[in-house]
Amino acid sequence: MNSVLVKLAVAVSFLVSAFLCGWLTLGVLVVPHFVGPCGIHARPFDAEVWNAPDWRDSEDISTDFHSIRQRMVDDLLETKLVPGVTREQLLEWAGEPDRTRERNDTAISVWHYDLGSERGLGVDSEWLEVTFDASGQVRRAELCRD
């Protein structure tokens, strides 16, 4: 009777271990690849690379399908795009925006810089949105997805 219980305990502990290892593997290796920016190959902002005409072709398997702009945007946000930066400074760094929006009632303008497929699942687009106040200074800069 004792040996049967020992064998049953070993079998149950093996199944529980296999089950937990499977969930751990899924949670650590698979899920972050599809739902978050984990593993992005970040690099310092470089205006020349950001403005390269072929930046859209920079998404490939070696970078987990993150564009060169996505790999630099966090550094741009942290080191350059702070409140008070002017339109002219941003033009110097990031070039002409891909889209603009003006709010005539408030003299506020919004610039969009395309970044490529969104981080994570990559189903939608991701862009940098920069809002300027009436004096032409950055009021807010943030990442957006549709």
Does pTM top 0.85 for this prediction?
A: no
The answer to whether 140 and 131 are in contact (CB under 8 A) is yes
pLDDT, one tens digit per residue, over 29-76 is: 455 444 444 557 789 999 999 999 988 887 776 667 788 999 999 999
Partners of 101 in the β-ladder: 110
The three-state secondary structure class of 35 is helix
113 or 83, which is more confident?
113
Q: What is the CATH number of domain 40-145?
A: 3.30.1450.10
Show the beta-strand stretches assigned E in the chain.
Answer: 99-103, 108-117, 125-132, 138-145
Token pair 């339109």 in the structure block, residue = 87
The alpha carbon of residue 69 and the mean position of all alpha carbons in its chain are separated, in whole angstroms, by: 10
Q: Identify the pLDDT of residue 3.
A: 78
Mean pLDDT (whole number) for 25-29: 53
Rounded distance, CA 81 to CA 94, Å? Answer: 10
Token pair 């003006």 in the structure block, residue = 102
Q: pLDDT tier at 140 (50, 70, 90 boundaries)?
A: very high
Q: Is the pLDDT of residue 130 over 90?
A: yes
Domain boundaries, the chain: 1-35, 40-145
Query: What percent of the chain has pLDDT above 90?
Result: 47
| Average pLDDT of the chain to the nearest whole number | 82
Q: pLDDT tier at 146 (50, 70, 90 boundaries)?
A: confident
Mean pLDDT (whole number) for 93-106: 88
